[in-house]
Amino acid sequence: MLIFLDTANIEHIRHAARLGVISGVTTNPSLVAREEGVDFKAAIQEICSIVPGPGTVSAEVLSLEAEGMIEEARQLSSWAPNIAVKIPVSEAGLEAISVLSREKVKTNFTLCFSVNQALLGAIVGATYVSPFVGRLDDIGHQGMEVVADAVQIFRHYNLSTQVIAASLRHPLHVIAAAKAGAHVATVPYNVLMQMIRHPLTDIGISRFAEDWKKVSNK
Ligand code: G3P
């Protein structure tokens, strides 16, 4: 399972890339709006240059009509070779991805909340589908079931679309995504940091250091 970072914060992306654990980034209009005074195109191009791959950097269209989505997607995908264009689930979104997949534009079918939505995304040739696990959990559903079922169905029919477990809120979500066979987990920066830390590791490191001081003071 690849790890993508779910943010538009350049410092967080730089840090995670230095750690060597991320291979892609997902952004959305809300995440971009959180970063004050950024120029969207410049920010996406900078992120694309930081992210090593083999994953991609997702940038979302704003149009709601198929034609507008296609036009925006062509623009966005010309900004860097590793861009995946996020297109929300809708009839227009399906129409747009049908056209874009024939043009080899990488796409991420986003705001996916059901297995049927994911299946349709795969049928029209989306590079990724993104079930939003946390938002489903928020309304009392088992969000990760959508991930597991989509993975199983895509494998059954040899569909090349990858499943991104998105809207992950805590480290247990990441483990569940890996167990469900998600191709990618996109994680917020704070969740990535939580995955690294463990209080017993901290205690162990300081105990080793203290014990070593005693030896070196002899
Ligand atoms: O990857 C999707 C993500 O950005 C949405 O997360 O926490 O707003 O549901 P959240």
How many Å apart are CA 24 and CA 53, to the nearest integer? 6
C-alpha distance across the termini of the chain, in Å: 48
Other Cβ atoms less than 10 A from the Cβ of 175: the count is 12
Tell me whether the omega of the peptide bond preceding residue 54 falls within 30 degrees of 0, making it cis. yes
Residue 167 CA: nearest ligand 1 atom is: 6
Structure tokens at 37: 């005074």
Q: Is 108 in the pocket of ligand 1 (CB under 6 A)?
A: no
Number of H helices, E strands in the chain: 11, 8
Residue 37 pLDDT greater than 90, yes or no: no
Residue in this structure with the two tokens 């995440």, named with its chain if needed = 31
Residue 26 CA: nearest ligand 1 atom is: 1
Split at pLDDT 50, 70, 90, the class of 55 is: very high
Reported as a single tens digit per residue, the pLDDT across 60-115 is: 999 999 999 999 999 999 999 999 999 999 999 999 999 999 999 999 999 999 99
Residue 218 pLDDT greater than 90, yes or no: no
Other Cβ atoms less than 10 A from the Cβ of 117: the count is 20
CA–centroid distance, 134 to ligand 1, in Å, is: 7
B/e letters for 148-168, b = 16+ CB within 10 Å, e = fewer, are bbbbeebeeeebebbbbbbbb
- pLDDT average, residue stretch 22-49: 94
Q: Is 162 in the pocket of ligand 1 (CB under 6 A)?
A: no
Structure tokens at 70: 């296609």
Structure tokens at 12: 């967080």
- Is the distance from CB of 57 to CB of 76 less than 8 angstroms? no
Q: Is 167 in the pocket of ligand 1 (CB under 6 A)?
A: yes
CA–centroid distance, 132 to ligand 1, in Å, is: 7
Residues recognised as catalytic: 86
Q: Is 28 in the pocket of ligand 1 (CB under 6 A)?
A: yes
> Given this model, what pLDDT does residue 56 score?
97
Residue 11 pLDDT greater than 90, yes or no: yes
- Is the distance from CB of 83 to CB of 57 less than 8 angstroms? yes
Residue 217 pLDDT greater than 80, yes or no: no
> Given this model, what pLDDT does residue 86 score?
98
Reported as a single tens digit per residue, the pLDDT across 126-176 is: 999 999 999 999 999 999 999 999 999 999 999 999 999 999 999 999 999
> Given this model, what pLDDT does residue 120 score?
98
Which phi and psi angles does 111 have, rounded to 5°?
Answer: 60, 45
B/e letters for 84-107, b = 16+ CB within 10 Å, e = fewer, are bbbbbbbebbbbbbebbbeeebbb
Largest CA distance in the chain: 76
Split at pLDDT 50, 70, 90, the class of 216 is: confident
Task: Tell me the CATH architecture of domain 2-216.
Answer: Alpha-Beta Barrel (3.20)
Predicted model pTM: 0.95
Pocket test for ligand 1, best of 56, 129, 135 (most atoms within 8 A of CB): 135
Which phi and psi angles does 95 have, rounded to 5°?
Answer: -60, -45
> Given this model, what pLDDT does residue 53 score?
83
Per-domain residue ranges of the chain = 2-216
Supply the mean pLDDT for the chain.
Answer: 96
Reported as a single tens digit per residue, the pLDDT across 98-111 is: 999 999 999 999 99
